[in-house]
Structure 1
Amino acid sequence: MSSSTSSSDTGAWKRFFTRAVATAAIGVAATYAFVALVDPWGVLPFHIPAERPPISTNARYAFPGLARSDRFNAAIFGTSTMRMLRPAELNQAFDAHFANLAMNAATAYEQSRLFEVFLRAHPQPRAIVIGLDHVWCDPAPLQRYTPRAFPEAFYEASPWPAYREMLSFYAVQEAVRQFAVLTGLMRQRYGRDGYTRFLPPEDRYDAARAAAHLPPVPQDADWTKPTPPADVTFPPLALLHTMVSATPEPTRLVLVFMPLWLGAQGAPGSDSVARAEACKRQVVAMARTRPNTVVLDYWRASPITREPTHYWDPMHYRDAIAERIEATLRRAARGAPGPSEDYADLTP
């Protein structure tokens, strides 16, 4: 009797386990199919036909799909120092449709990978603007990643490896959000051209608070005195050289050293200024290797970088400065914009 009962219990448990495993497998398969069809980042070859706006806070996931979009034929690359530039303000001057693909704290490697994605999808772009800052002028060994996740599969020439990234809690979360945006259940948070304001509104600017976070400008420094460049190698510039060389000659290429707050640049004659000057010279030498290239230097003492009320923090300028840079870029669409108190025209 007890043996029969034990056999019956064992069979019941086996059936329960089989059903549980089957149910779980069906649930996983259904979830995976949902994520793949929604394709929250627009990187898969087969998905629901719809224009997908960026929905992820980590642009490393959101931007490869945007870089492949046929809605654009021009792009902005860089770190957060370029995110304040509005594509809509450049489109007419360049006769192009820009996407702003700048990413917060992006390494030179990450920027170069996104550039590769864009150029594969747009082999003859109208224009490319690359913002240069300390990330490119770093003599330390090349840093590939930051603590933010970087999905290498999204950056491959083949779309198939991207399917590996679709079975994760993050992918499920983002698929639900994208589905809600596509069906109108949730308002999109990020701009469809990559531009999204990430700084506080201008009416919340507090000059005293901002100034408290700015390094002091060295007293009695002679900013007219040139600093000889250092003899130093910058590993990130090897990636930039590849990007510059890969850019087709008809494409207008603009390289822009961004306006770091003067107190964060270092005093004239310092090692930091000498390294910056060396970096600029190497970039100019690079620009000489291709026509149709403009090099602008905002990373210097100027009416922009001397004024603390132009900044939220040492790296991020306010709207009025973004507008001045946009105006210069519009002039660069027609050729070297010439000298200015705001920047130096380093175009070779």
Structure 2
Amino acid sequence: MRADPPAEAAWRGFSVRLVVAAVLLLLGYLGLALAVDPYDTGRPRLVDRDGVRPQGPRTATASRGRDPAFAAAIIGNSHIQLIKPANLREATGLPFVQLAVPGTGPGEQLLIADYFLRHHPRARALVIGADSFWCTGDPALPMQRPFPAWLLAEDWASYLRGLLRVRVVGEVVNRLSWALRTTPRRAAPDGYWDYEPDYLALGDPDMPARVASRAKPAPADPDPGEGGPGFPAAAALRALAGRLGADTALVLVFPPVFAATKARPGTARAAAEAACRAALAGAVAPRGRVVDWSGDRPELHDSTLFFDASHYRQPLARRIEADIVAALREAGATGTDAPRP
């Protein structure tokens, strides 16, 4: 049975008003979100507060990566996370920011590097931690876990789509509340996050589960998709190195793993790992420097320097920092705050 014309017209009018209201609501929200700039991306904003409230590095990277206070960056995941930007600054005079994001691989890390360089065309140094994730054979360099690439996107369309996420709506409200406080607590501007307290809160480093993780030998074969012969991340790294300015030093760090968990010499896994490292080192040659902690060193046999197979502790981080500083100095990357000899 058909609706009579007046009822049909009333329904059509209601539908139009509903659509118009939804569009106006959407545009109003987008206008507010753009003005508030919830993650401090530097786009037009109403909230005159630098930085972001305390939060994880996945979303704080957009703010830190564009901060003009820094001229050098540390990029990677939790395997380079303990490198202190303040220590590198003290030793080299270069203002470093820590942009490591746990649980990321080369795809996300190269996005972060591009973002930092876009906002720092005269960057003085990049320190990149390349772990086993960089040995993937997938040319897409797939993301390991959800990552807000839209926050680092250069185009407005990606950014606007990202603002429509439910979590972002909540962050718009959170940022307004944060900005209205007299002395709001801010996330660390230099991005340093010491994971030691988090690990210690989970239990003693010598608890049976952790001891077992440090004693588990690596398989003889490489993990699926990591056996080569091609390593697409190396090609992407070479492209990044080629875009760097003449005054930008590049240091590639192969982070350590506990000795008992390393690939055994003579196995296919050891050969694949060596081929991957060679491809990555070749990608930054000749201008780049390599800090290689993947070999056999006495420190890698000391269980007190590791939480698990790949997450080392502060004393070992200091030794890796010393090698990074030496590489930066060798590359001539020092600033006005560098200590005098």
Q: TM-score range by the shorter chain?
A: 0.7 to 0.9
Structure possessing the higher relative contact order (Cα contacts under 8 Å, 6 or more residues apart): 2
Hey, what's the Cα distance between the residues in 1 that align with 2:19 and 2:230? 57
Q: Is 1:233 matched up with 2:230?
A: yes
Indicate yes or no: 2:107 matched with 1:109: yes
Check the 8 A contact 2:228/2:276 in 1, yes or no.
no
Q: d(CA) in 2 for partners of 1:8 and 1:336?
A: 80
Q: Once superposed, what is the RMSD of the aligned Cα atoms?
A: 3.2
Does the CA-based 8 Å contact 2:82-2:314 persist in structure 1?
A: yes
Q: Which residue of 2 aligns with 1:206?
A: 204
- Between the aligned partners of 2:193 and 2:238, the Cα distance in structure 1 is 29
* Amino acid aligned to 1:331: A
Find the counterpart in structure 2 of residue 306 from structure 1: 301
SS in 1 for 2:181: coil
Q: Are 1:258 and 2:255 matched, yes or no? A: yes
AA partner of residue 312 (structure 2): Y
Give 1:121's aligned residue: 119
User: C-alpha displacement at 1:27, in angstroms?
Assistant: 4.6
Greater CA drift, 8-17 or 230-239 = 8-17
Amino acid at match of 2:85: P
Q: What is the aligned length?
A: 317
Q: Does 1:284 align with 2:281?
A: yes
Alignment map for 1:170-181 (pairs within 5 Å): 170-181=167-178
Please identify, of 11-20 and 80-89, the stretch whose mean Cα deviation from structure 2 is larger.
11-20
More displaced stretch, 114-123 vs 182-191: 182-191
CA distance in 1, matches of 2:23, 2:282: 58
- Alignment match, 1:333: 328
**Identity fraction in percent:** 27
**Which residue identity does 1:126 align to in structure 2?**
R
> In structure 2, what is the Cα distance between the partners aligned to 1:307 and 1:298?
14
Normalised TM-score (structure 1): 0.78
Partners of 1:115 and 1:54 lie apart in 2 by 23
Unaligned runs of 5+ in 1: 1-5, 219-229, 338-348
Cα distance change, pair 334–201 in 1 and its aligned pair in 2 (3 A): same
Question: Would you say the 8 A contact 2:291–2:323 is kept in 1?
Answer: no
Residue in 2 that maps onto 1:245: 242
Structure 1 residue 190: Cα displacement: 3.6
User: Which one has a bigger Cα radius of gyration?
Assistant: 1
Instruction: Please identify, of 316-325 and 42-51, the stretch whose mean Cα deviation from structure 2 is larger.
Output: 42-51
Kept in 2: contact 1:130–1:254 (CA 8 A)? yes
Is contact 2:106–2:133 with CA below 8 Å preserved after alignment? Answer: yes
Mapping 1:1-348, distance limit 5 Å: 27-43=25-41, 45-48=43-46, 49-53=48-52, 55-57=54-56, 59=58, 61-151=59-149, 153-159=150-156, 161-184=158-181, 188=185, 190-200=187-197, 204=201, 206-209=204-207, 210-216=210-216, 232-290=229-287, 293-335=288-330
Question: Structure 2 regions of 5+ residues with no counterpart?
Answer: 219-226, 333-341
- Determine if contact 1:55/1:177 at 8 Å carries over to the other structure: no
Deviations 1:51-97 (A, max 9, x none): 022655461x4323422221211111112111122211111323221
State how far apart, in whole Å, the 2-side matches of 1:23 and 1:139 are: 49
For residues 8-42 of structure 1, the C-alpha deviation after alignment (integer angstroms, 9 at most, x for no partner) is 99999889878776665555444333322111122
Give the distance between the partners of 2:229 and 2:23, measured in 1 at CA.
Answer: 57
Name the CA distance, whole Å, in 2 between partners of 1:91 and 1:81.
20
